[in-house]
Amino acid sequence: MSQRREQWASRLGFILAAAGSAIGLGAVWKLPYVAGTNGGGAFFFIFILLTLTLGASLMLAEFILGRHTNKDAIQSYKAIAPGTPWFLVGALGIVASFLLLSFYAVVGGWIVTYFFRSITGQLQAPDGDFGALFGQITANPWEVGIAHFVFILITIFVVRAGIRGGIERASKLLMPALFILFLVIVARSLTLDGAMEGVRFFLQPDFSEVTGETLLFALGQAFFALSLGVSIMVTYSSYVPKDTSLTRSAGSIIGLSLFIALLSGLAIFPAVFSLGMSPEEGPPLIFIVLPAVFNEMAFGGFFFTLFLALLLFATLTSAFSLLEILVAPFAKNDLNKRKRVTWISGLLVYIMGIPSALSFGILGDFTVFGNIFFDNMDFLVSNILLPLGALLIALFVPWKINKDVLEEELLRSSRLSRGFFLTWLFTIRFVTPAVIVIVFLYILGFLPGVEPTI
């Protein structure tokens, strides 16, 4: 029998859980290497600007939809537009979250492996070649398979306990620990010789280096680093009490996300520049460059273990939100059913992730469109499903929900004026969809003179 829908025990719990979802690997892992390959300070400045404008507008749209309907990612669309295909936007979000978590958990498994090897003293690279070590680890099917399963298992145990007992409780413990650990790493990184060169690269914009590609990558990072486009924030906000200010909550979540992004850059770039490394290493930056960087520091092993613990915390908080959007529509707020659905969903995600986990080893020669399975999954989710979902949400919320309802939900329990609401409404109705369409066309190579990003 269906029970009364759960709610967050506190506004702080909601903010920390949503911030944890938004931060994840996007801020800690992806942003440094994307900034490193796209101009450093100029990219970071543009990313902040777009996050505070277009990213914020989309987050508020998802919040309004979830809190107003008090329903999951599928039923919320049905409540607003019954008898129409709009519920497929929620279904698209569930599919995208399922696929995203399947390969996201593989990266989580790599972090588990590195963390275990670090605390047991087994993170030793032959001849100091951490690239070779990364290849050795990711090519071992048993090591990546077990670590992948451990990561999924932790996620299942937290999400099965529900909103208050699982996700909120874990977030209240993990997020403050994440901030503390990051501050320790930043303090150590900034005290290295030559660290200021890395700080200047990250925080001193050189707009002469900005290209159209820099702008477009910053747009994508601004939208997708906040877990927008897959109705995660619709699901999370459906547990928010009516007297909670959505604008203050969004401001706090975005502020925490940008703060972590800042700390991430200050932790990585000063250390990279101090030891003469390149900031343009790309996705392996953390797994190949950082172990080498920390290996050269006094007490480097200790600090790298702390960094891996931090990265694992951030990755898990995002995994909680991805699994929750799969569980909520089928659990129907029944705690007993939630436990069963969580186990089934988690195990299906693990099975779906096996080809991605083996893509760097025994399935390395199996390619489609010239890419391994892992890269194809990443492209499908990041470059097709996420922008499509974001666009549809930006079209649905401001045009399908009554304008008076939008204003009431947005301004409730806040001191903001109607002018703020009208500005937000114009942005979400016209500016945000236009920007997403431009990014989407760029990714697919439909703009003149642009090759597809694949």
The predicted structure's pLDDT at residue 295: 78
Cβ burial of 414 (10 Å; 0-12, 13-18, 19+) is middle
Q: What is the pLDDT of residues 155-168, one digit of tens each?
A: 998 888 765 555 66
Q: Which helix (H) or strand (E) holds 336?
A: helix 335-357
**CA distance linking residue 81 with residue 59, whole number of Å:** 20
**CA distance linking residue 193 with residue 216, whole number of Å:** 34
**CA distance linking residue 391 with residue 216, whole number of Å:** 15
Mean pLDDT score of the chain? 84
Residue with tokens 């990250």: 202
**CA distance linking residue 266 with residue 166, whole number of Å:** 31
Whether 217 contacts 332, CB under 8 Å: no
Q: How many CB atoms lie within 10 A of CB 299?
A: 10
The CATH number that applies at residue 195 is 1.20.1740.10
C-alpha 355: how far from chain center: 22
Q: Where does the pLDDT of residue 13 fall: very low under 50, low under 70, confident under 90, or very high at 90 and above? A: low
**CA distance linking residue 14 with residue 50, whole number of Å:** 23
The predicted structure's pLDDT at residue 7: 60
SS (H, E, C) 272-303: HHHCCCCCCCCCCHHHHHHHHHHHCCCCHHHH
Q: What is the mean pLDDT of the segment spanning 394-416? A: 91
Asked whether residue 38 is assigned to any structural domain, the reply reads yes
Token code pair at residue 251: 């401001």
Asked whether residue 254 is assigned to any structural domain, the reply reads yes
Asked whether residue 453 is assigned to any structural domain, the reply reads no
Token code pair at residue 454: 């694949």
Q: Which residue has the higher pLDDT, 112 or 161?
A: 112
Q: Which among 121, 28, 104, 31 has a CA at the least distance from the CA of 309?
A: 28
**Could you give the number of structural domains in the chain?**
1
SS (H, E, C) 104-161: HHHHHHHHHHHHHHHHCCCCCCHHHCHHHHHHHHHCCHHHHHHHHHHHHHHHHHHHCC
The predicted structure's pLDDT at residue 300: 79
Asked whether residue 84 is assigned to any structural domain, the reply reads yes
Q: What is the pLDDT of residues 175-225, one digit of tens each?
A: 777 778 778 888 888 988 889 999 999 999 888 877 777 777 787 778 777
Going through 130-248 in order, the beta strands assigned E by DSSP cover none
Q: How many CB atoms lie within 10 A of CB 62?
A: 30
Q: Which of 136-145, 202-211, 280-289, 402-411 has the lowest mean pLDDT?
A: 280-289
Asked whether residue 3 is assigned to any structural domain, the reply reads no
**CA distance linking residue 62 with residue 205, whole number of Å:** 32
Whether 43 contacts 347, CB under 8 Å: no
DSSP tally for the chain: helices H, then strands E: 21, 2
Q: Which range has the top average pLDDT, 163-167, 189-193, 299-303, 339-343?
A: 339-343
Q: What is the pLDDT of residues 17-60, one digit of tens each?
A: 666 666 666 777 778 878 887 888 999 999 999 899 989 999 99
Asked whether residue 364 is assigned to any structural domain, the reply reads yes
Give the amino acid at 260: I
The predicted structure's pLDDT at residue 152: 96
Asked whether residue 27 is assigned to any structural domain, the reply reads yes
- Predicted confidence (pLDDT) at residue 2 exceeds the cutoff of 50: no
Task: Name the residue range of residue 244's domain.
Answer: 11-444
Question: Which are the contacts of 203, defined by CB distance < 8 A and separation ≥ 6?
Answer: 41, 44, 265
Asked whether residue 22 is assigned to any structural domain, the reply reads yes
